[in-house]
Amino acid sequence: MGLDIQSEIDVVKVASSKINQVDFENLAFGNVFTDHMLMCDFKDGKWERPTIKPYEPFLLDPSAKVFHYGQAIFEGMKAYKDDNDDIWLFRPDENLDRFNKSATRMAMPEVPEHIFIDGLKEILKIEKEWVKKGLGNTLYIRPFMIAIGTGVIAQPSTQYRFMIILSPAKSYYSGEVKVIIAEHYSRAANGGIGAAKAAGNYSAQFYPTKLANDQGFQQIIWTDDATHTTLEEAGTMNVFFRINDTLYTAPTSERILDGVTRKSLIDLAKREGINVAVQPVLVSEIVEAAKNGSLKEIFGAGTAAVVNPIVGFSYQDVYYELPKTENSIALELKEKLTNIQHKLAEDTFGWTVKV
Amino acid sequence: MGLDIQSEIDVVKVASSKINQVDFENLAFGNVFTDHMLMCDFKDGKWERPTIKPYEPFLLDPSAKVFHYGQAIFEGMKAYKDDNDDIWLFRPDENLDRFNKSATRMAMPEVPEHIFIDGLKEILKIEKEWVKKGLGNTLYIRPFMIAIGTGVIAQPSTQYRFMIILSPAKSYYSGEVKVIIAEHYSRAANGGIGAAKAAGNYSAQFYPTKLANDQGFQQIIWTDDATHTTLEEAGTMNVFFRINDTLYTAPTSERILDGVTRKSLIDLAKREGINVAVQPVLVSEIVEAAKNGSLKEIFGAGTAAVVNPIVGFSYQDVYYELPKTENSIALELKEKLTNIQHKLAEDTFGWTVKV
Ligand SMILES: Cc1ncc(COP(=O)(O)O)c(C=O)c1O
Ligand SMILES: Cc1ncc(COP(=O)(O)O)c(C=O)c1O
């Protein structure tokens, strides 16, 4: 980028790291954070100088707009360490691009690359000990932006805070995932904010998901809100269906998040000679395929779990169990993708970026 | 309630009030707050003791769920002072009830009456100088609840903070309000959170509203997201249409907030012998009525503005100007309602509650 990053970011380091208190073998997702965080405020129409400083609580006014109007967006990414102790990112430009699309939809300012990407690289260099080697070990990266301007009038804030926090993660095994197809609740409206990683989209799912959990299902497969006839996402992941040897997944839309994992899996599958059909997927087609035995697999795709195989689904009070597959496309693609991410396989796509 | 309120709430008062620095004649909406705030945390499955203390910023962890998942709800109410210096609330039970419905939809704990209502009364007694006499002078009340539990896993928080902050307000004159009927963007999904006062609903409107502003319209009239054929709300208000001498307003639904002003206006109008039709209102009907001259008035209804007359609307690039009405039902109902709220007219409905 031609910028001298060091001189663009203020760095205040912790007196002593807490890394030795962390049990890296027993990490729950997203509740341990590294020693530092990146913080950068937007004020008077421009971004101030970013600071990397000790991870700690910060003060906000009770009338901050994020509390009242949910003006907040985020991203989810990972850093990986290879055998040479180099640290890698996976398609970070995609996350920056999506973050700024989310920002626009939420009437927030875009975050420039030199803050988002260069800031991220800088904090990763400082936290390099927190990225552990070995397949499945990653450092989960959470960039986010919140409206910190004050006042309870329902209007966009004029002040924002961009932050990056980091949380070490183990490979994510979610147990047997059974899902229920949404017949009443929904995740996104036409003309709404479903395609943005806007904070409010996620809390909106908590209650319906709790109801699903109470019925013994770990996740909901979301359908379109108007007719509940097309399948859109699984929980907070994109979703794929394998019928015979073809993978089906919905095209992205203003109701569906344009997932980096989804698009990478599509490219990988195509390279492997697997048929991929990106087209609206009807509930009726999947039920029919489950009945006649042609439905082989369903899986979610997202940064946290990479690929999340689903063992069965419920629709209109009938539970459809999927067959056990000998050669799972889900697991094959997951392995191929994680090998690229961890630099264990050649990255012919040019997806990985060295920190 | 039989409770000794004093003993249930801890009170820490400011050393000196800032009330003398406030210009009560020139108040912008929602940006000056009183000396104190009420704060009450939910932890380990129960509400702690509420505290009234000086209004000030508070600390939150960068991973607090409100920042990442928008798990946050609010209410909007007002306090009024009568000629005897008594302070009154308007249907506060309705706000408590709606707050707890919002809480359930957002997977948050309900706030008990002794915290919400008794806490509100207690802080209003302390801030009584901030409630000014005279029609149009009110103290705007903002109860809200945010998820303060930490960790970036997308699950409901286990810790919450309920707060009440107070902001003096002058009667709200919004200028000439022209609106545009939504043809692409929308406010709420079927099976979504539109009926909850959830934070994320409001920031979702900022961008489409900005686009409307750029075209010279102050607000959007929201339509159903699936077909954009029925009229639902105006900005963050419920909406009424007067065709000849009948008032039309949509029934509440899971996409439409059950507004206290709306339901009070309906009751008032009925008492005045005005025909009120609570039924879905089609865009085509309103356009037709505008064309044939039977559409007399459109107005928004909500706590902040009470009644917000609309002078015209745009639909499919055609602007429809409403006729000037001699005897506006909007203004008649507004006067009747504010007189009740300010204790200048008899409250035959039993809506007002003394603090
Ligand atoms: C709603 C939703 N869908 C899908 C995804 C998957 O996107 P990605 O693969 O970029 O993580 C995410 C984010 O993880 C999401 O929040
Ligand atoms: C979306 C929405 N509709 C309508 C209203 C009006 O409700 P109330 O009359 O209770 O203020 C509000 C709140 O003010 C609102 O946020």
The shares of helix, strand and coil residues in chain B, as percent rounded to the nearest 5, are: 25, 30, 40
**In what helix (H) or strand (E) does residue B221 lie, and over which residues does it extend?**
strand B219-223
DSSP state of B133: B
Residues of chain B neighbouring A165 (CB-CB closer than 8 A)? 62-63, 152
Q: What's this model's pTM, rounded to 2 decimal places?
A: 0.97
A153:B30 CB<8 A: yes
B31:A150 CB<8 A: yes
Provide the pLDDT for residue B6.
47
DSSP notation for A51-63: EEEE---EEE-TT
- Tokens 């639904």 — which residue? B253
Residue closest to A143 by CA, chosen among A98, A104, A188, A106: A98
Q: What is the mean pLDDT of chain A?
A: 96
Q: How far is the CA of A217 from the centre of ligand 1 (A)?
A: 20
Provide the pLDDT for residue A8.
87
Provide the pLDDT for residue A5.
45
Q: How far is the CA of A238 from the centre of ligand 1 (A)?
A: 6
Provide the pLDDT for residue B7.
58
B65:A33 CB<8 A: no
| Ligand 2 atom 5: residue of nearest CA | B237
Q: How far is the CA of B323 from the centre of ligand 2 (A)?
A: 26
Cβ–ligand 1 distance for A262 under 6 Å, the answer: yes
Pick from A55, A69, A203: CB nearest B203: A69
Which ipTM was obtained for this model? 0.96
Q: Please, what is the Cα angle at B86 between B95 and B173, to 5 degrees?
A: 60
**Which class for A245: exposed (0-12), middle (13-18), buried (19 or more C-beta within 10 A)?**
exposed
- CATH of the domain spanning B5-170, picked from 3.30.450.90, 3.30.470.10, 3.40.190.10, 1.10.3720.10: 3.30.470.10
Q: Is the pLDDT of residue B236 over 60?
A: yes
Ligand nearest to the CA of B140: 2
Q: Is the pLDDT of residue B4 over 60?
A: no
Q: Which residue is closest to B105 within chain A, CA to CA?
A: A207
Measured distance CA(A249)–CA(A251) in Å, rounded: 7
A198:B193 CB<8 A: no
Half-sphere exposure of A27 (CA within 13 A, CB side): 27
Atom of ligand 2 nearest to the CA of B95: 10
A107:B65 CB<8 A: no
Pick from B60, B142, B225: CB nearest A152: B142
DSSP state of B134: S
DSSP notation for A120-172: HHHHHHHTGGGS-BSTT-EEEEEEEEEE-----SSS--S-EEEEEEEEEE---
Q: Which residue is closest to A199 within chain B, CA to CA?
A: B69
Q: Is the pLDDT of residue B206 over 70?
A: yes
Pick from A61, A67, A151: CB nearest B66: A67
Measured distance CA(B228)–CA(B19) in Å, rounded: 47
Quote the percentage of chain B above a pLDDT of 90. 94
What are A88-117's pLDDT values in tens digits? Answer: 999 999 999 999 999 999 999 999 999 999
Measured distance CA(A103)–CA(B327) in Å, rounded: 45
Provide the pLDDT for residue B159.
98
Measured distance CA(B117)–CA(B38) in Å, rounded: 11
Cβ–ligand 1 distance for A194 under 6 Å, the answer: no
DSSP state of A25: T
**In what helix (H) or strand (E) does residue B98 lie, and over which residues does it extend?**
helix B92-105
Helix residue spans in chain A (DSSP H): 5-8, 65-69, 92-105, 113-126, 199-214, 260-271, 283-292, 329-341
Q: How far is the CA of A221 from the centre of ligand 2 (A)?
A: 31
The ligand 2 site (C-beta within 6 Å) comprises B 76, 197, 233, 236-238, 257, 259-262, 301-303
What are B84-134's pLDDT values in tens digits? Answer: 999 999 999 999 999 999 999 999 999 999 999 999 999 999 999 999 999
| Three-state SS at B176 | coil
Phi and psi at residue A212, in whole multiples of 5°?
-65, -45
Mutate to test the pocket of ligand 1, among A236, A299, A338 (most ligand atoms within 8 A of CB): A236
- Tokens 């970026």 — which residue? A353
**Which class for B292: exposed (0-12), middle (13-18), buried (19 or more C-beta within 10 A)?**
exposed
Strands (E), A224-336: 230-234, 237-243, 246-249, 275-278, 281-282, 295-302, 306-315, 318-321
Provide the pLDDT for residue B326.
85
- Architecture of the CATH domain A178-340: Alpha-Beta Barrel (3.20)
Q: Is the pLDDT of residue A347 over 70?
A: yes
Q: How far is the CA of A182 from the centre of ligand 1 (A)?
A: 18
Cβ–ligand 1 distance for A239 under 6 Å, the answer: no
What are B276-304's pLDDT values in tens digits? Answer: 999 999 999 999 999 999 999 999 999 99
Measured distance CA(A206)–CA(B244) in Å, rounded: 45
Residue closest to A313 by CA, chosen among A292, A334, A297: A297
- Which candidate in B27, B32, B37, B68 is best for mutational testing of the A interface (most A CBs within 10 A)? B68
Check if the beta carbon of residue A336 is closer than 8 Å to that of residue A306: no
Q: Is the pLDDT of residue A3 over 80?
A: no
What are A202-235's pLDDT values in tens digits? Answer: 999 999 999 999 999 999 999 999 999 999 999 9
Measured distance CA(B197)–CA(B103) in Å, rounded: 9
Q: What is the mean pLDDT of residues B162-183?
A: 91
Q: Which residue is closest to B213 within chain A, CA to CA?
A: A155
Provide the pLDDT for residue B175.
78
Q: How far is the CA of B110 from the centre of ligand 1 (A)?
A: 30
Measured distance CA(B191)–CA(A210) in Å, rounded: 15
B225:A156 CB<8 A: no
- Domain positions in chain B: 5-170, 178-340
Cα end-to-end distance, chain A, whole Å = 13
A67:B72 CB<8 A: yes
Q: Which residue is closest to B152 within chain A, CA to CA?
A: A30
Q: How far is the CA of B293 from the centre of ligand 1 (A)?
A: 50
What are A164-186's pLDDT values in tens digits? Answer: 999 999 976 667 899 999 999 99
Entry field: residues in chain A: 355
Q: Which residue is closest to B149 within chain A, CA to CA?
A: A31
Check if the beta carbon of residue A132 is closer than 8 Å to that of residue A114: no
A203:B151 CB<8 A: no
CA distance B294 to chain A (A): 31
Provide the pLDDT for residue A280.
97
* Biggest CA pair distance of chain A: 63
Residue closest to A268 by CA, chosen among A324, A328, A351: A351
B207:A146 CB<8 A: no
Pick from A66, A107, A225: CB nearest B225: A225
CA distance B210 to chain A (A): 8
Structure tokens at A101: 């699309």
- Taking phi first (over 0 means left), then psi (-120 to 50 degrees means alpha), and beta for anything else, what does residue A2 get? left
Q: What is the mean pLDDT of residues A285-290?
A: 98
